[in-house]
């Protein structure tokens, strides 16, 4: 495997882990862990897409990461439950 494939595989694994953990109710979609996994996973997937110059996924994963980051920042304004 080359560098871009490794980075992309790690990113997609984190995204799928967040999906799996949420789907089977180990974590909620509102949890910081879920949001963090999405930020890092989408960010790595975006970076891997930049490396291979596949622009549709750069846009998709970049937006995904930014939306998750906005959700995390919104959580910081709320008191911890």
Convert the pLDDT of each residue in 19-77 to its tens digit. 999 999 999 999 999 999 999 999 999 999 999 999 999 999 999 999 999 999 987 77
**pTM of this prediction?**
0.89
Total length of the chain: 81
- The string of DSSP letters for 19-55 reads HHHHHTTSS-TTSHHHHHHHHHHHHHHHHHHHHTT-H
Encoded tokens for 49: 């897409």
Encoded tokens for 19: 């999906």
16 Cβ partners below 8 Å, 6+ apart? 41
Position 80 pLDDT exceeds 80: no
């Amino acid at each position: 495997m080359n560098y871009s494939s490794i980075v992309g595989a790690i990113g997609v694994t984190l995204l799928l882990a967040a999906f799996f953990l949420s789907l089977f109710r180990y974590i909620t979609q509102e949890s910081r862990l879920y949001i963090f996994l999405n930020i890092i996973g989408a960010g790595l997937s975006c970076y891997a897409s930049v490396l291979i110059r596949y622009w549709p996924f750069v846009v998709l994963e970049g937006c995904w990461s930014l939306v998750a980051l906005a959700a995390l920042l919104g959580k910081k304004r709320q008191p911890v439950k």
